[in-house]
Amino acid sequence: MKLNRFDLTFSYGYLVTKEKDSGDVSYYPRISDQRHTASMAVTWMPGNKWTIYLRAFYGSGYAYTPSYVAVDSATMISRWVEGAKNYGHYPAYERVDVRFAKSFLLFNNPAQVYLDITNLFNRRNIWSYDYTYDRKGNPIAQPLTLLGIIPVIGLSYNCGS
């Protein structure tokens, strides 16, 4: 949708994916089972060849096979045990990106200098878990996260066609 100096785009998807291995009788979620995804992009052109882009992403968590702690009643030793295949879901993925761009001519060809900030709010999205033990042998599920804020300064140049 375009409104004067603004452009707005929104998308939403709903998806359920399941599979079963040969010999299995029931289906289980695929690792690509991400039920809800949504994105929004806003472009603002305030004038003087400036453009500001704002993009937001949301995805409900992907399926994964969780592990849980089991304690042997005879030895009282705890250990990690794999749960039902892909019946856990990671927390939601959320990210907001922004770009400030200034267009100009360079050697009579269009160019743009920009500042991109990916993951503006420094969301520590979880992509996996690492199952370990501390020094006393206690089990610990440690989340492994994606990168935080990523700033990029760039120049794009179109040398003509």
- The model's pLDDT over 36-89, given as tens digits with 9 standing for 90+, comes to 999 999 999 998 999 999 999 999 999 999 888 888 888 877 788 888 889 899
- The model's pLDDT over 79-133, given as tens digits with 9 standing for 90+, comes to 888 888 898 999 999 999 999 999 999 999 999 999 999 999 999 999 999 988 8
Pairwise CA distance, residues 77 & 70, whole Å: 8
What are the phi and psi torsion angles at 141 (to 5°)?
Answer: -100, 110
Radius of gyration for the chain, computed over Cα atoms and rounded to the nearest angstrom: 23
Query: Residue 145's beta-bridge partner residues?
Result: 126
* pTM (2 d.p.): 0.80
Task: Name the nearest CA neighbour of 14 among 39, 34, 32.
Answer: 34
What are the phi and psi torsion angles at 99 (to 5°)?
Answer: -135, 135
